[in-house]
Structure 1
Amino acid sequence: MAIPLPDLQRAALLSMDLHSSIVSIYTQNDPEYITRVAAVLHTARKRGMQIIHVRVGFRPGMPEISERNVLFAAVKANPQWQQLFSGPNSAIHSAAAPVGDETVITKHRGSAFTGTDLEMILRANDIDTLVLLGIATSGVVLATLLHAADADYQLAVVGDCCADRDPDLHAALIERYFPRMAAVIDAAGFCEAAAQ
């Protein structure tokens, strides 16, 4: 049984890891991806939803990364991969960039919660529902969804505003795994529901 879209009255939209460099790599075969994301953000703003942008970032020398962290240790060891998170490449894509005083969270791990003040911001704003989108489906979206589900948030995932380099894994998560914990909708469905 599909989980219905939760009430959006006390919802925040988490737009995650949409660095220009990451968007260009992960959406090469989907030129409409960022257009859908922009439409979802625009609709959420019109509705007055809180929007929280999540990005990956590190200090010079990446002291936040342990050699025991397999994913990020590989980034730390590879100057080319480091470029994804520094300089102009680290900027959030212009079509998904923060507007006004929208909150930006910088994370150093997969989940938007781990080691950040996201939980405090959500509590301070009486948020009980999260709408998730971002890159990668098997990275930040999965890690954040699992944390949020364990923390008793109501959840929705905008499936066609997530992307992954492994299309089979993306499909399995969006179609089979995420629906166990969240309403999975597409951008058009979100925009229609949020406009009401």
Structure 2
Amino acid sequence: MANSALLVMDVQRDIVDIADDGSGYLPRLRRAIDGARAAGLPVIYVTIGLRPGNPEVSTRNRVLTAAVEGGLFTEGAPGTGIHPAVAPHQDDILVTKRRGSAFSGSDLDLVLRARDINALVLTGIATSGVVLYTLCQANDLDFALTVLPDACLDTDPEVHRLLTERLFPQWAAVLPTDTWLKTLSR
């Protein structure tokens, strides 16, 4: 069986405030996190954090430029912290990235190799951002992949649906959280 880890990506205060539509996203994500911990899977929190002054942001990067102009993602700022409803435990791993993918500008690959992890379960905000970018890169790196679509969120529900129903199944198992949790108990 593959050595798996649950990635909880970009579930930061400011991002949740922008994206959460009141649909019960955080409790669903919390169930996935609790289930992973109960099954002994590592839980890895990935956040985007940019240094004060944003030296790593090029004006050619439209998404990051717009985000920093809106005051998002500065390391140490309260809104950049992980949302308290899904706060990490002491044994969880925290990774800071500098771009869209969980691998970009982070030490995630090093952490995964050190733990011999070869399968990833992806969750987070936004489906069309960090989840998509990480899925593409992890696929290229030959990880076995699972996406929990109800533990992912996007500001555009139609884009979320298209990605989780049409694109992601080409590269990953796409399972509702409750179905995935049942596979952990087998």
TM band (smaller chain): over 0.9
- Cα displacement (A) at 1:87: 2.2
Deviations 1:66-117 (A, max 9, x none): 11111101223x2xx2145452211101121110131111111000001111
Counterpart Cα distance in 2 of 1:57 and 1:191: 30
Correspondence for 1:170: 160
Counterpart Cα distance in 2 of 1:162 and 1:130: 14
- Cα displacement (A) at 1:190: 1.5
SS at match of 1:35: helix
- Cα displacement (A) at 1:62: 1.1
Among 64, 67, 90, which residue is 1:72 paired with?
Answer: 64
8 Å CA contact retained: 1:12, 1:50: yes
8 Å CA contact retained: 2:48, 2:73: no
4+ long deviations beyond 6 Å: none
Correspondence for 1:18: 11
Correspondence for 1:27: 20
- Gaps of at least 5 residues in structure 2 are none
Change (3 A) 1:96 1:63: same
* 2:146 pairs with 1:153: no
TM-score, structure 1 normalization: 0.90
User: What is the number of equivalent residue pairs in this alignment?
Assistant: 185
TM-score, structure 2 normalization: 0.95
Among 53, 59, 62, which residue is 2:51 paired with?
Answer: 59
- Cα displacement (A) at 1:50: 0.9
- Cα displacement (A) at 1:27: 1.4
* 2:92 pairs with 1:92: no
SS at match of 1:132: strand
Counterpart Cα distance in 2 of 1:75 and 1:137: 17
State the Cα RMSD in Å: 1.3
- Gaps of at least 5 residues in structure 1 are 1-6
* 2:98 pairs with 1:108: yes
Correspondence for 1:3: none
Counterpart Cα distance in 1 of 2:143 and 2:6: 12
SS at match of 2:155: coil
